[in-house]
Amino acid sequence: MAVRSDLRNVAIIAHVDHGKTTLVDGMLWQSGAFREHQDVGERVMDSNDIERERGITILAKNTAISLPGINGAPPTVVNVVDTPGHADFGGEVERALTMVDGALLLVDASEGPLPQTRFVLRKALAAKLPVIVVVNKIDRPDARIAEVVEETLDLLIDLGADDAQIDLPVLYTVAKEGTATLDLDTPGTDLLPLFQTILDHVPAPTHDPDHPFQALVTNLDSSKYVGRLALCRIQHGTVKRGQTVAWCRHDGTIENVKLSELYLTDALDRVPAEEAGPGDLIAVAGIAEVTIGETLADANDPRPLPVITVDEPSLGMTLGVNTSPLAGRSGNKLTARLIESRLQQ
């Protein structure tokens, strides 16, 4: 198998509001993705209105961070996939994890790993992804760093992590200040230790040079200019803009289609590209009815990829006796007009 040493694909796993989007913001700034006086706002990866309002992540999305050569390494592009921190958006989680080769597990230095962390981490371990633990907000006055690291290792063991997955690096960060360190006795000054750890511990994408083109559609987007976009990770081979590929549908039928546009990600922007190769996270246009889980393959040798398995939707209920002080009492303000009148009093 050949290796793309100039590329890394990594996901960020965290509970709601543990600082993952803030950390990605810092990574973008320190990689030089933005000009010094450019106004990009806070939480640049939260593109959905609800995400920006509440500071949470619902949709899996990625950004590309271009790193110069670090400690003699060649220039590398790190695709960072920001995953939802909610079990409610499980489908988005599974799709995101099919696009990456490793994961950053971000935990709050005070709160530690919480239930939603457990859900996404279980999916990552099942996918055999190597994990890097990032303990964030170590500047909190109520931080309990050593205990949180111990709790995180206990969680990994509880979820059935193998020996290789448990033998992982631990970084300590203050995302809002853009600092990271591997040693608590040496305060961080920038995010270089984080970048170096990603390069050292997240495997570069591998591929078979003799294998025909294959890409799995992991998500959909739309453009007012080119219509529906299929978001994919290329498993093998290369693809060019305007190329005819085989569209392998869920029902087993195969149709040849022409890719009218091909995009790669540069920082937060989707930019046109002429060609993309193994491991690249791409967006393609020209297939109006494509859906998630279908395969784009070589037109002369179409080989469908396995469909993504997503947990079925579930509903949890807890039934109990009403112990409220208002139990058994009914109100008499039953219309919007009466409620408004009462609130105005």
Spell out where the chain has E strands: 2-3, 7-14, 61-67, 76-82, 102-108, 131-136, 170-174, 179-181, 206-207, 214-223, 227-236, 239-240, 244-248, 254-258, 261-266, 269-272, 275-276, 281-285, 295-298
User: Residue 58, by phi and psi: left (phi above 0), alpha (psi -120 to 50) or beta?
Assistant: alpha
At 143, list the tokens. Answer: 């931080």
pLDDT (0 to 100) of residue 63: 85
pLDDT (0 to 100) of residue 88: 47
Cα–Cα distance between 198 and 103 in angstroms, integer?
A: 9
pLDDT (0 to 100) of residue 43: 43
pLDDT (0 to 100) of residue 61: 62
Show the low-confidence residues of the chain (pLDDT under 50).
Answer: 35, 37-41, 43, 45-60, 88
pLDDT (0 to 100) of residue 257: 95
From 159, 174, 72, 150, select the one nearest 121 (Cα to Cα): 159
From 93, 77, 22, select the one nearest 198 (Cα to Cα): 77
Cα–Cα distance between 266 and 275 in angstroms, integer?
A: 14
DSSP run (H or E) holding 158:
helix 145-158
Dmax of the chain from CA atoms?
A: 77
pLDDT (0 to 100) of residue 50: 42
DSSP 5: T
What domains appear along the chain, each with residue ranges and CATH number?
Answer: 2-206 (3.40.50.300), 208-298 (2.40.30.10)
The model's pLDDT over 27-53, given as tens digits with 9 standing for 90+, comes to 988 887 654 544 444 545 444 444 444
pLDDT (0 to 100) of residue 68: 83
Q: Global pTM?
A: 0.81
